[in-house]
Structure 1
């Protein structure tokens, strides 16, 4: 896509940092891949047999593409806001899988219908007049990045002219009237309209951060639960205010972690997807109080249940954005040639991990160890300082338990070796300000115990 990253950028990323210029190289590569992926959907539909993509549906896809082109000529940046929205990535991947024969025809046709919604949203943002008939699925007609109309499934007529938007379900019901605002949002007094909420922009960010709880492609079936994550959820006004209150403290706390933490959030974070409480949590649950994750195909999105405090909100961003960075780096240049066999001990998981998963986890926990150390050193309240030292000590010991495996791999590429060496340098630099003895001892005992439990479960086939 773009030339390989220069070594100075790899050194930055190896320290879990990355200046704005380095991060924008990753962003540019990911954006280029997204646009090629979207074109691949149209090309695959053109090449598909009529039993997979009937002529009527193909004609509609061509019309949608033409609307995208018209809108892009009017306002390229507005259209890219929609096409580069993180959740358009999972949709495009689903379409390609369906066009290749995976899944049912009904699911594929519903997925392909979504291109009409993407084109409509892009045209609205670009101020391009149009009329179209879209399809609502699952009781919602989604306009990506803007919101969704709550309506019965089926065709919906939509018209946009001079900032005025009308939507009417063909089957029955009154029209919904809405208005496009200069800031790219859609306002309507009709309770059937569910707007995409947004959190204020971070310092240095390009704009508000969407809190997207209506996009139909924000999760992928039941896959989240296999990774300890809850399902995506719609949030009410009370929850929206709670998210905003927690978010209000994020900027200052990111600065405590260093200027690079604020920079990576400002450059990489494109939307948040709210998840429900973690599986097993609640008054009678025994699970974790928080869960979060990323999806490789949804570059820039962080999926998360609502963090309890701004400090944990920041640690969630630090953790998940390292996965975003490393996945983007791995797409740009191979870091290793290890296979995908899950055989390695990782003290943050009960199951065995493949080498790439081990590298991802070590990278994100190393960044957390660095963040919590800086937080502890800046904390004024004893309770905050103790919490931060405990988190730092645990993360640092977890990373230390797996670094020898990463460093000992003969399958690292030159770029991967450089990255891991920088990780080791940062790990040892953390020794300059060690945690209190008690926190260190508890962290060491925790990691030792998780290793024993893992060995009992998995035998001696690795490490």
Structure 2
């Protein structure tokens, strides 16, 4: 049964906004779904054929779950999530769980598929060990370094000289983890208060985090270590660039850009800063797109990784703020669509989307229009409040995004496949679009934006396959 979404929340989200209660509703629902998903992994392992998941793997999963349960009881007195809960709802645990479920539900797996599933399930042991260590529980366990890497989520990665799988003994006591491997010196890892860990060993690479978006906010992981951080490339898909491994100089550039992002977000409305604070849980650095010459960018979100933003290194705080606005809307709408059915459109139907060269299904058109509507609002607010030398750029971007949304809205509004709640949502999008006319962009920017969309539509039309002949 889908959770109830109040009408006020639906209308707020339709305007690309969302008050504290509405954002909290999305977060609670996503966190609940994540815990159910993880329980589903354990249940699927219990039910799987031994040829898919041998009894030893299932028994280890039970042990890991018991350790997580013990860690979950050690909830902090300040009301924050327990260390175990924080690890389970971490965005990148979602892709791992989905991958495990696909493997556990397989039929007649190959030897390669069985090995992959065993590796994936073994990662849960690392998740449980980190949660228990954060909870202050003393333990000793055995973890597997895969292809020379033992990833301990949120802490770091131990690199081994052996490219094959290597078993390491991991012990924790009073904030110190000891990692022991055959024929190698022990690696001592010190857990820092709150987040992070450090070690003097050359074999250890610590996880990295940016400061909180605002003073007092939780640090923001810049996660370049998690093995499940980037989706696999699919043929014929609009793919993200590959994962990046920022060096010290690149991390400084991330820090400089990130440090100015909150102030820029606020110029587009306090709600833009609020939604970023409430919904964003980690950043995943991506490689710069090929051929970008330092001027392009790449970003995205993943439905199975609620709260994660994947992005190439941002050039400026303004550019990164716009990326946040754009991608947070995808996060909001994807979460809402888990709770409410907005439409029942044929997924094979295709529509013109002026921000993409390819045709889009109705769902893709809705997602794109929603994100661009928020960007149009963001840059209009900046144009009305920012200093004069930045105003023209803000007006130009506002005009472009608003023209793109205006070209997409007729197909969204005219669909007979909208549900009653979907009609309410899209009507709010239209109302937000129309309210922008109260403060129009200068005429030149509007004219150029309309000409741009007209040219893009003409090019798109030329690329469409000819209609099949009709029999009369």
The 3 A distance-change label for structure 1 pair 267 and 17 is same
Of 197, 204, 210, the residue aligned with 1:193 is 204
Post-superposition Cα deviations, 1:133-173, rounded to whole Å, max 9, x if no partner, equal 11112332111122211223421111101111111233x32
- Pairs within 5 Å for 1:109-188: 109-151=118-160, 152=162, 153-170=165-182, 172-188=183-199
Q: 2:401 aligns with which of 380, 389, 395?
A: 395
Give the drift of 1:204. Answer: 8.4
For 1:325 and 1:89, locate their aligned partners in 2 and report how far apart those are by CA, in whole Å: 17
Q: Which moved more, 1:34-43 or 1:410-419?
A: 410-419
Instruction: Structure 1 unaligned segments of length 5 or more: list them.
Output: none
Asked whether the equivalents of residues 249 and 310 of structure 1 are also in contact (C-alpha less than 8 Å), the reply is yes
Structure 2 match to 1:95: 100
Could you say which residue in structure 1 is the equivalent of 2:286? 275
Residues 369-448 of structure 1 aligned to structure 2 (within 5 Å) = 369-382=376-389, 384-448=390-454
Distance across 2 between alignment mates of 1:228 and 1:430: 33
Distance 2:167 2:459 in 1: 55
Q: What secondary structure is seen at the aligned counterpart in 2 of 1:226? A: coil
- Asked if the contact 1:255/1:262 (under 8 Å) is kept, the reply is yes
Q: Does 1:363 align with 2:376?
A: no
User: Secondary structure at 1:52's aligned position in 2?
Assistant: coil
Q: Which runs of 4+ in 1 moved over 3 A?
A: 203-206, 223-226, 459-462
Contact 1:322-1:363 within 8 A present in 2 as well: yes
Deviation, 1:61, is 1.0
d(CA) in 2 for partners of 1:432 and 1:388? 16
1:17-416 counterparts in 2 under 5 A?
A: 17-75=17-75, 77-101=82-106, 104-151=113-160, 152=162, 153-170=165-182, 172-203=183-214, 206-223=217-234, 226-282=237-293, 289-382=296-389, 384-416=390-422
- CA shift, 1:430, in A, is 0.9
CA RMSD of aligned residues (A): 1.8
> Is contact 2:196–2:208 with CA below 8 Å preserved after alignment?
no
Structure 2: state its 5+ residue gaps.
76-80
CA contact (8 A) 2:104 2:117 kept: yes
Judge which range, 110-119 or 336-345, deviates more.
336-345
Alignment partners' CA distance in 2, 1:88 and 1:144: 9
Q: For 2:194 and 2:235, how far apart are their aligned partners in 1? A: 33
Stretch of structure 1 that moved more, 98-107 or 253-262:
98-107
- Contact (CA 8 Å) 1:27, 1:268: kept in 2 or not? yes
Q: Normalized against structure 1, the TM-score is what?
A: 0.95
Higher mean displacement: 209-218 or 64-73: 64-73
Distance 2:178 2:305 in 1: 30
The structural deviation recorded for 1:129 is 1.2
Shift of 1:3: 3.4
